[in-house]
Structure 1
Amino acid sequence: MKKITLLMCILMLPVSVQADWKESLSTGWNSVKNTSSKVYTDLIEDDAEIEGLSTLSAARQKSIITWDKMEDRFADIIEVKEDKSVAPESAFFKKNKAGYQEDIDDLLGDIYAILNDDIVKEASNSITQIDSKMLDLQAKASQQKSKSVILIGEERQDALQKQQEYENDIEVYQQNRQKMIEAVQARLDDFGTELSFEQVEALLVRVNADDILAMTTVFPVISEIASSFAKITAASGEDLNNAKKYYSMYVVLLELQLYIQERYIGDLKYKYLPRIDELQSKQNSLINSTQQAQRNASSKHKVSYSLNLKSQNTTLQAIKLYKVSMQQDLNKMSKAHALLMQDYTLAVNTLNTVTMSSQVSSLITDSNQLFDRIMALQAPELVPFNNIQMQKEFSALTEQIK
C-alpha cells in the first residue's frame, strides 16, 4: 500500500513556500531545544500548582506527563526534515527523500504510541482475552453437556458437575468483562467522550476498536498541547523567533494528526474492507451451495438445510452490516482528513508569513477549535446490538477479519 505522505502535502505548495518552510523549521531550532522544555514546563507547572495534577482532565494530565518524551521526538523530526530537504528524490547508494519520510513516519508513530492511553489499551486487551477464554469455556461446557446425555450413574453426574463448574467460571468472566467495559467507558468520559455501556460494548467487538479508542484519547491530548502553544506565544510578546519555534511544533502536531488519519484510512481501504468483501463472497457461495443441496435433498433433510440457511443468512446480514459500518468510518475519516489538510496547508503558509506572535497565538487558538469538528467527523456510528446472536456474529467476524 502506498500511503499518502506529508511529503506530497508539502510538494503541493508553491516553491517559495517550501523554501520558507525549510528555513522556518531550521532557523533557531537548536535554541528551542534548550528553551522550549523550560517554558512549557513552567506553564504546565502553573496549572498543576493552582489546581493539582489529579484535578486536571485526563488529556491535560497526559500532555504534562509525556511532554519531555514528545519534545525529543519533535526535535528529531525537525532534524530529519532538514536532512530530507537536501536528499535526492532517488538514489542507489544513499538515502532518498522517501527514506527520510519513512523515518519521520516512524517518529510520528512513536509519538502516537506515547500518547496512547495505557488504561484504555490494557482494558481493551483484557476484554479480548476474556472473550477468548469465555469461548473456550463455553465449548468445554457444551462438550460436558453432550457427554452427560449418553452417560449414566456417577459418570453422568461427574459430567454435569464439570459443566456447572465451567458455567460458573463463565459467569465470573462475564462479570469481569462488564467491569472492564465500565473502565473503558469511564476513561473515555475522562477524555471528553461520553458513551453508553452498550455503545462501548458495540465498539469493543469491532476490528478497528483499538484505532478508534486510540484516536479518541490521543486527539484531546494534541488539542491540549496546541492550547499550551497558544498560551506560550501569547505570553512571549513580540518575540517572533519564539513564536515561530512553537508554531513549527504546532505544525508537527497537525502532521501527527494527518499521519494517524492516513494510517487508519489505509487500514480501512486496503485491509479491513477487502477482507470483508472476501468473507461476503465466501458466504454467498456457501448459501448458494446450501440452496442447491436443499433442492436436491429428500424431504427428511430439507428441514435441516433450512435451519442451516437461516444461520448462514444471519451471518451474511452481519457481514453486510460490518461492511456498511466500515464504509461509514472511511467516509467520515476521509472528510475529517480533507478538513485537517486545509488547516495544515494554511498553517504552513502562516508559518512563513507571520509577523506578530499575538497573531500566531490567535491562529493556533482558532485552529484548535477545528479539533472538535474533526473529532465529531471521525466518531463512528456506535449502534448497540439488538440481540446477542448479532453480537456473537460480529465477534466471530472480527477474528476472521484479523
Structure 2
Amino acid sequence: MPQGSSPVSRRPATRLLAALSLSLATLAPTLTPGLALAADDMHFDQPEAFATLKKAVGYFDEMDTLPEEAWISRDQASARSDMDEMIEEAMQALDVPELSTLRSTYRQVEDKIRESRREISELKEKRILAPDTEVSTLTRFTPTDTLREFTASTRGDYDLLIAAHEKNITDYQGELTTLEGKLAARLEEIGITLTPDQVQVWLSSVVGDDVLTMSVVFASIKSVAQQLAELTRDSGENLDYARRYYGMVVMLHRMIVTMQQDFITRVDDEVLPQLQGFADEAEATTRDARALIKQGGSRESLENNIRANALTLKTINLYRSLVSEQRDRVKTSLTKSQRELAVATNTYRTVKLSAHVADLIRQGVKTFDTLAGLQVPVATSFENSAMREEFRKLTERMQQAK
C-alpha cells in the first residue's frame, strides 16, 4: 500500500462485515478438544469384526462350488474379490477406535502447523510491501486475528499477526507432544511398547499409520482367536459351528498376509525409490555448490547450502534405515504367515472333529503371538529437533508426490 493511503477507505464496510461473520466460527479454542473417550473405545468393534469374518468364510466356501473362470456367471475370482472385501472391512473393524482417533487428531494438528507456517510466509511477503510504521489503531482494537488479517496495513500490523501464528505453532507442537504420550500409553495397554519419542518417529513417517495399524490389528487378531477358541469349546460336538470358527481363523491368517504384502510393496515400490530420488538430488546440489565455490561463488551461502544438504542426507539415511529394517521384519514374519495360511487352509478343508478344531485354534493364538513378535515396530528416536523437522519435510514431500 502506498504511503499515506487510508486502509479503512480501501476496505468497504461490507468486507469487514463478511470478515466478522467468518471470525465468529473461529472464536472457539484453537486447539483440538480433549480426547476423553469412553472405555469401550479401547476395544475394537467385535460384532462387526465377527460378522464380516463370517461373511468372508461364506465366500471362501463358495469358491469350491464355482468354476475357475466364467464369462457371464459368477466364478472363483468374483467370490475371492468379495472375500477380500470382507477381510478389508474386518481389518478396519479390528482397529481400536481411540488409537485411530488419536492418530487422526495428530494428522489434523500437523496440518494446522503446516497451514500456520504457510500463512506466516504470506504475511512476511505482505509485510515487505507495507508502510514501516507501528500497529495501526484499527488493527490494535480489532478483536480477532482473523479480522486483523483483513485490517492489517502496516509492518507493525503484520508483526502482530506473525507473532500470533508463531504462538499457535508452539501450542500445536505442545499438543503433538501430548498426543504422542497418550498414544504410547494406550499402545502399552495392548502390549505394544514404544516411548513417546519413538511414537513421534513413526507418526512423522509416511508409513507410520501402516506400521501402527498393523501392530494394533495384530493385537486384536489374537483377541479374536482366543474368543473363537472359547466358542469352539462351548459348541461341543457341533462340527458345523466349529468349522465356521476355524474358517474365521483362516480369514485372520489371510488378513495378516495381505497387510504384510501391502506394506512390503509400498516400501519397495514407493518409499525407498522416493528417498533415493531425494538423496540423488541433495548429492547433486552439494556437488554443484562445491564447484561454484571453486569458481569464486559466495562461500558463506554455498557452505550453508552444503551443510543443509548434509542434514538432509543424514535424515534420508535414518529414514531409509527405519523403513528398510521394518520391511525386513515384516518379510521375516510374512514367510511364516504364508506357510501358516497354507497349513490352516488345508486343515480347514479336511477337519472332521470339533475337538480337534479347538486345539487348532489354540495353536493359532500362539502363532499370531509369534508373528506379532517378529515385526514389532523399530524403536528409534531423532537426534535433535533439526533432524525431526527435516524428517517431517521429507514425509510431506512424499505425501505431496502421490
- Tell me the residue number matched to 2:142: none
What SS does structure 2 have at the residue aligned with 1:212? helix
Q: How does 1:182-261 map to 2 (within 5 A)?
A: 182-261=181-260
1:102-149 deviations in Å (ceiling 9; x for gaps): 332222111111222232222222222222322333454567678589
Q: Residue 151 of structure 1 aligns with which residue?
A: 132
Q: Compared with structure 1, are the counterparts of its residues 140 and 304 closer, same or farther at alpha carbon in structure 2 (3 Å cutoff)?
A: same
Contact 1:339-1:374 within 8 A present in 2 as well: yes
Quote the offset at 1:353 in angstroms. Answer: 4.2
**Distance 1:400-1:141 versus aligned 2 partners, 3 A rule:** closer
Aligned residues: percent identity? Answer: 23
CA contact (8 A) 2:41 2:96 kept: no
Out of 302, 305, 310, which is 1:305 matched to? 302
2: CA distance between counterparts of 1:198 and 1:368?
Answer: 31
* 1:190 Cα deviation from its structure 2 partner: 2.4
1:315 aligns with 2:312: yes
Equivalent residues in 2 for 1:119-138 (5 A)?
119-138=98-117
| Native 8 Å contact 1:328 1:380 kept in 2 | no
Q: Does 1:79 align with 2:58?
A: yes
Instruction: Decide which structure has the larger Cα Rg and report it.
Output: 2
Q: 1:381 to 1:271 in 2, by over 3 A?
A: same
Structure 1 pair 234–86 and aligned structure 2 pair: CA distance change class (3 A): closer
**Distance in 2, Cα, partners of 1:152 & 1:223:** 66
What RMSD, in angstroms, separates the aligned Cα atoms of the two structures? 2.7
1:248 to partner: Cα distance: 1.6
Counterpart in the other structure of 2:31? none
Aligned to 1:334: 331
Q: In structure 2, what is the Cα distance between the partners aligned to 1:55 and 1:130? A: 24
Q: What is the identity, as a one-letter code, of the residue corresponding to 1:290?
A: A
TM-score, with normalisation over the residues of structure 1?
0.76
Displacement of 1:157 after TM fit? 3.8
Counterparts in 2 of 1:96 and 1:271: CA distance versus 1, 3 Å: farther
Distance 2:276 2:79 in 1: 35
Shift of 1:310: 0.8
Gaps of 5+ in 2: 1-37, 136-153
Q: How does the TM-score come out when normalised to structure 2?
A: 0.76
Please identify, of 72-81 and 144-153, the stretch whose mean Cα deviation from structure 2 is larger: 144-153
CA distance in 2, matches of 1:91, 1:401: 41
> Cα deviations across residues 3-28 of structure 1 (Å, max 9, x unaligned)?
xxxxxxxxxxxxxxxxxxxxxxxxxx
Q: Are the equivalent residues in 2 in contact too, given 1:226–1:364 (CA < 8 A)?
A: yes
**Contact conserved, 1:105 with 1:259, CA < 8 A, in 2?**
no
1:84/1:97 contact within 8 Å kept: yes
Equivalent of residue 390 in structure 2, options 390, 393, 396:
393
Secondary structure of the equivalent of 1:384? Answer: coil
What does the per-residue CA deviation read over 1:53-101, in whole Å, with 9 as the maximum and x for residues that have no partner? x88994xx42xxx333233323432333344334444454455544433
- Structure with the bigger RCO (C-alpha within 8 Å, sep 6+) is 1
Q: Would the alpha carbon gap of residues 173 and 55 (structure 1) be closer, same or farther in structure 2, given more than 3 Å must change?
A: closer
Relative to its length, the structure with more helix (as a share) is 1
> Quick check: 1:372 aligned with 2:377?
no
Q: Runs of 5+ in structure 1 lacking a partner?
A: 1-53
Distance 2:204 2:310 in 1: 20
